[in-house]
Amino acid sequence: MKKRVISLFVVVVLALSVSITAQAASPGLQNFKIRKTYTCGQFTDVSDAAWYAMAVQADYEYGLLSGRSASVFAPNDAITLAEAVKLAAVLNSTYETGSASFKKTIPWYKAYAEAAVRKRILDASATGYTAPVTRADFAVLIAKALPDAAFPVISEISDNAIPDVAVNDPSGPAVYKLYRAGILSGCDSFGTFRPEQLLSRAEAAAIVARAANSAFRKSITLPAPLSGDDLYQKCSPAVFYLERYDDAGDLLGIGSGFFISRSGLALTNYHVIEGATSAKITTYDGKTYDVKGLCGYDEVADLALLQIDGSGFPYLAPAASDDLSVGTVVYTIGSPYGLQNTISKGIVSNANQEIDGSSYIQFSAPISIGSGGGPVLNTSGQVVGVTCLTVLNGQTLNFAVPIHEIDAIKQTDCVPFDNGADDSADETAYYAGLYPVPDFGVYADAPLYEISSDEDAGVVTFNYRQSDILMDDETAAGYIDLLNQNGFVWQRTYTNDSGYAVDVYYNADFDISVQFGVTLLDGVVCRFVAVFY
């Protein structure tokens, strides 16, 4: 009899257990329910007309976010890491179990942090809980708090469409997930996220409400074609003017470049920085910064990674695809002849133009000396190429290195320019202050006979007595090959007053002409190099 009673008791207990299990909440957004009553005007600093008022009410009713006191919400205060971790832990627990019960601890956020670490929402090494949290860090926490099933895509956002967040940034996957799910929508019409800025409690309330209730989510479209004015406003702050100098502090040349990360990593042409022992940039707002050095370069692709001495810079994102169609509208921003942040518009003339075995984007947007290293942008403000060269006397025959060539650069620690940034300078001597004109006297091992200069005309002439040149004429003429190797292109040949042929060469990147030939100087036969700068 006792055995039957015990057996019956076990059956009842088991049945009760089954019943309790059956009533347990299943994971899902349906678990976010009204648990508290919100009274209009409850928080004296939250106006009913405020854009975040409904989100504050929803979060309070769901038991997700309370005020700093019974009557103060503090919408403009920065949310701390501790508060952000609590929100992530409560979101996760409510979604999975339908409740969020955490024991009281000292400090108050310890239980939430332990749960977040256990659920792999938060790294165990996290510190600084009382400090404000960045928008990027908050996005990462929210993205990890709920499973992918809670973030169905409602907005088609292509990779790198967000102006200031690249998909391969540390916070990139989380930010793009939340944009595509309609939880983040950006801070302006461009979809700018401002990842390094601090997040206000009002903004946190809106994000959490959208995470908990899909009715709050917003569908957006990015990228949208931008007008020239909008594109300039969006992209120009990330483009800079660059000056490079030799070891005597003389200006070697000018160019352009642009930031590709907030930390000061920037991209330009290799030839824009080649030969420099120091360099500085001027940003859109007129501030100047030193270039600390090179972080990698590809001389063949004509690209160089620079580290600028600073941080918090606006930056440009590469286009997700390097597929370009002929006729596609593109813009360039650069500093032609030092005219900083000049924008021009054109079309892609040839998406894959082969020149000397390399592939370039040929485009019609006007550029000039000083534009080199600037970005070529599509109508979404994404970088498709890096301006590199133009054909003089041509009709808008301009070329850019495709942006995907950056993938071939092996990024290194920053190397100062005076520690071997320019390998070619180790092999070739240049006239002081006239880079990249090779020093003929060093090449021919001949002493300088006479030098003349006209600063007003911008010309200096170096003369060497033919009798001092020990090498034969053919070998001496090899100086022309050295000019070619340093970017000088033959333009014409003429006969001078002494009856000798003179070759004229021009380097468009540096806007320097060189005349090389033989002349009579006070009856002495001299080989000369005249440099027009």
Q: What is the pLDDT of residues 246-259, one digit of tens each?
A: 888 888 889 999 99
The whole-number average pLDDT for the span 452-465 is 91
Does residue 434 carry a pLDDT above 80? yes
Segment 207-220 mean pLDDT? 95
Residue identified by tokens 């200096």 is 460
Return the H-helix or E-strand segment holding 290: strand 288-298
pLDDT (0 to 100) of residue 424: 40
For residues 350-379, give the mean pLDDT: 90
Average pLDDT in the 296-305 region?
A: 92
How is residue 247 written in tokens?
A: 């070891």
**Neighbouring C-alpha atoms within 13 Å toward the C-beta of 260:** 24
Q: Which residue has the tokens 């090449």?
A: 443
Indicate the pTM of the whole model: 0.59
- With a CB cutoff of 8 Å and minimum separation 6, the contacts of 225 are 379, 380
Greatest mean pLDDT range, 355-369, 392-406, 425-439, 462-476: 355-369
pLDDT at 321 over 70: no
Residue 4 confidence (pLDDT) above 60 = no
User: Residue 410: helix, strand or coil by DSSP?
Assistant: coil
User: Do 255 and 239 touch, CB atoms closer than 8 A?
Assistant: no
Q: How far apart are CA 340 and CA 404, in angstroms?
A: 26
CA 309 – CA 406 distance, rounded (Å): 21
The three-state DSSP-derived secondary structure of 280-324 is EEECCCCCEEEEEEEEEEECCCCEEEEEECCCCCCCCCECCCCCC
Structure confidence at residue 430 as a pLDDT band (50, 70, 90): confident
What is the token pair recorded at 127?
């510190």
Res. 22: pLDDT tops 60: no
Interval 210-233 mean pLDDT = 89
Does the structure show a pLDDT above 50 at 234? yes
Cα(176)–Cα(156) distance, integer angstroms: 10
Cα–Cα distance, 348 to 328 (Å, whole number): 5
Identify the pLDDT of residue 10: 43
Per-residue model confidence (pLDDT) at position 250: 85
Q: Above pLDDT 70, what percent of the chain?
A: 91
Residue 494 DSSP one-character state: E
State the average pLDDT over residues 292-308.
Answer: 92
Q: Residue 110: pLDDT above 90?
A: yes
> Residue 176: which of 144, 207, 143 has the closest Cα?
143
Is the Cβ–Cβ distance between 289 and 310 less than 8 Å?
yes
- 249 token code pair: 């502090």
Q: What is the mean pLDDT of residues 441-467?
A: 91
State residue 394's pLDDT score. 62
Query: Which positions ≥6 away from 472 have C-beta within 8 Å?
Result: none
Instruction: List pLDDT tens digits, range 120-152.
Output: 999 999 999 999 999 999 999 999 999 999 999
Looking at 228-385, list the stretches that DSSP marks H as alpha helix, in order from N- to C-terminal side: 228-235, 270-273
Q: Closest Cα to residue 518, out of 502, 504, 494?
A: 502
> What's the pLDDT at 131?
96
Lowest mean per-residue pLDDT among 33-37, 81-85, 196-200, 396-400: 396-400
Say if CB 332 and CB 275 are below 8 A apart. Answer: no
Nearest-angstrom CA–CA distance, 517 and 242: 34
pLDDT of amino acid 21:
43
The model's confidence at residue 392, banded by pLDDT at 50, 70 and 90, is low
H/E/C letters for each residue in 328-364? CEEEEEECHHHCCCEEEEEEEEEEEEEECCEEEEEEC
503-523 confidence digits (pLDDT tens): 999 988 778 999 999 999 989
Q: What is the pLDDT of residues 333-363, one digit of tens each?
A: 999 988 999 999 999 999 999 888 889 999 9
pLDDT at residue 320, rounded to an integer: 64
- Check residue 7 and give its pLDDT: 46
Average pLDDT, the chain: 88
What is the C-alpha separation between 174 and 192, in angstroms, rounded?
Answer: 15
Looking at residue 291, its pLDDT comes to 96
Tokens of 385: 């190429």
Pick the residue with more confidence: 470 or 344? 344
Q: 501-507 and 524-532 as β-strands: parallel, antiparallel, unpaired?
A: unpaired
Q: What is the pLDDT of residue 259?
A: 96
- Give yes or no for residue 299 having a pLDDT over 80: yes
Least confident of 99-113, 275-289, 308-322, 352-366: 308-322
pLDDT of the residue at 144: 98
Q: CA-CA-CA-CA torsion for 140, 142, 143, 145, nearest 10 degrees? A: 120
User: What pLDDT is stored for residue 252 in this prediction?
Assistant: 84
Give the lowest-confidence range in 34-38, 109-113, 224-228, 450-454.
224-228
Least confident residue range of 66-75, 115-124, 352-361, 389-398:
389-398
